[in-house]
Amino acid sequence: RKEVEQDPGPFNVPEGATVAFNCTYSNSASQSFFWYRQDCRKEPKLLMSVYSSGNEDGRFTAQLNRASQYISLLIRDSKLSDSATYLCVVTKNTGGFKTIFGAGTRLFVKA
């Protein structure tokens, strides 16, 4: 089982739609959680950190469920510019610091 698993998609949604991505992680000792965004043939960039209390940044909401080892990202009112790959990222500091990236979920928003 991979340490961080995501539905690869692609998700094809119309503009204005709400879309949700899920991510599961296998190591209960994982400590920090992030969503990164990667545009085609570009580098990953931080979208938002994920906190146990949940956090929101404009149209984006991230949730963490430690008991179920599950992270989610909700995008409301999708824009064409949201088309990208969304990477779930988990870090842990047991047996040495390690950052683990999921393979990403591709999103296509169409007009």
Q: Which residues bind another protein (CB under 8 A)?
A: 31-32, 34, 36, 41-46, 49, 85, 87, 91-93, 96-99, 101, 103-104
* 41 three-class SS: coil
Q: Is cis: bond before 10, omega within 30 of 0?
A: yes
Please count the residues of the chain.
111
Position of tokens 């994982």?
Answer: 30
* Shortest CB 88 distance to another protein, Å: 11
Question: Which of residues 17 and 108 has its CB atom nearest to another protein in the complex?
Answer: 108
Cβ closer to another protein: 39 or 77? 39
